[in-house]
Amino acid sequence: MTTTDHRIPKHNNAAAKRSRKSGAAVPSDTKLQLKNLNKSYGGSQVVYDVSLDVASNELITLLGPSGSGKTTTMMMIAGFVTPDSGDIVMDGESITVVPPYQRNIGVVFQNYALFPHMSVSANVEFPLRQRGVSRAAARSRAEEFLELVGLAGYGSRRIPQLSGGQQQRVALARALVFDPPLLIMDEPLSALDKRLREQMQEEIKRIQQAVGVTVLCVTHDQTEAFVLSDRIAVMNEGRILQVGHPREVYERPADSFVAEFLGESNLIRGRVGPEQQGGRVFHTIYGFDLCVERDTPESATAILVRPERAELHRAGEQPEQVFAATPTIHGSILTASFVGSSMVYRVDCDGLEFTVRQPAGGSTPFTPRDAVVLGIHASACAPIQF
């Protein structure tokens, strides 16, 4: 019987690095395209007109809460769910009706889906043996990928003997060993504790860059998405609301849902006023004005300020240069909370409850009822339309 030796490029670093430019537009070498995907279950639509381009060697994350449609979208890409309409294109060819086993996509499931009765090596060899690779070649390839994921010498162990982090590495090796054009990871780190999650985030990035594979990750964890992703596609109620570099979607969210889902936020309602002093005025409903950037659209009905972007000073002690071009907003401390590397303050500003996060260990912390002055620079103000 003739067998095939499915070799892969060991280190495609140059290609991987080319695709990881911050905020870069999707290049012409598109690996995956989702075109107007729709899906309903029992008359209830769960995915609405989802379109997305994924670049070769990119790591992109579908991020959203439970019920946002991200898992259904992932299942359609993998071939386990058929879309009602739309098209899925990989490497320029439609795979919408191609069976899952013929799509050649690597998948790391949330529960890893490893075979407990088989050794670590046999688990990794399995997709190669299914593709007709000889036992010797499959064993050699499995050893190569176990070394890549940091499990050299673990081949003879059984799955129940491994920790959660080690099982995750085995699942990753098995999904990559046959050189898939696309790797899908479904909530890959949700079963791990905080320390292991942080460790595996760095490992996944290292392995993805070493192999040069295109990765689509599905998660509800914002921090995980920020750390892993070249770009993030935020989903809610079956729709993609925004796609962009992690910093872009965090600092310039498309709407109030994206703003609040991605982290602590201060949303200040009001209306955009005239230009002045190189910027524009934003008239808040709380009786004070903010300076915002000149390109703030008149349609904006709120301003987002992240807690770490605001400045807080004791009343009468604020440096004059800090607030030279910033309206003075007086307030008083409601609560002060120590959260490790930061102090988080809740500030009452004439009826607006504002959250400010400052590094701990600096000046003397504020305490409840302290009189303070809040400084918000124009560059910290992101326009939002409700």
Q: What is the pLDDT of residue 324?
A: 47
Domains by residue range for the chain, with CATH: 13-105+180-256 (3.40.50.300), 271-384 (2.40.50.100)
Q: What is the pLDDT of residue 2?
A: 36
State yes or no: pLDDT of 321 exceeds 90.
no
Using the Cα atoms of residue 325, residue 329, residue 333 and residue 338 in order, give the sign of their dihedral. Answer: negative
Collapsing DSSP states into helix, strand and coil, what is residue 257?
Answer: helix
Q: What is the pLDDT of residue 232?
A: 98
165-211: per-residue pLDDT in tens?
Answer: 899 899 999 999 999 999 999 988 887 778 888 888 888 999 999 99
Judge whether 152 and 146 are in contact, CB under 8 Å.
yes
- Rounded Cα distance between 51 and 42, Å, is 23
381 φ/ψ angles, rounded to the nearest 5 degrees: -100, 115
**Pairing state of beta strands 352-359 and 342-349?**
antiparallel
pLDDT tier for residue 21 given thresholds of 50, 70 and 90: very low
Judge whether 309 and 382 are in contact, CB under 8 Å.
no
pLDDT tier for residue 315 given thresholds of 50, 70 and 90: confident
Q: What is the pLDDT of residue 4?
A: 37
Averaged pLDDT, 353-369:
90
244 φ/ψ angles, rounded to the nearest 5 degrees: 180, 175
- Rounded Cα distance between 187 and 197, Å, is 11
Averaged pLDDT, 343-369:
91
State yes or no: pLDDT of 162 exceeds 80.
yes
Q: Is 128 left (phi over 0), alpha (psi -120 to 50) or beta?
A: alpha
State yes or no: pLDDT of 362 exceeds 80.
no
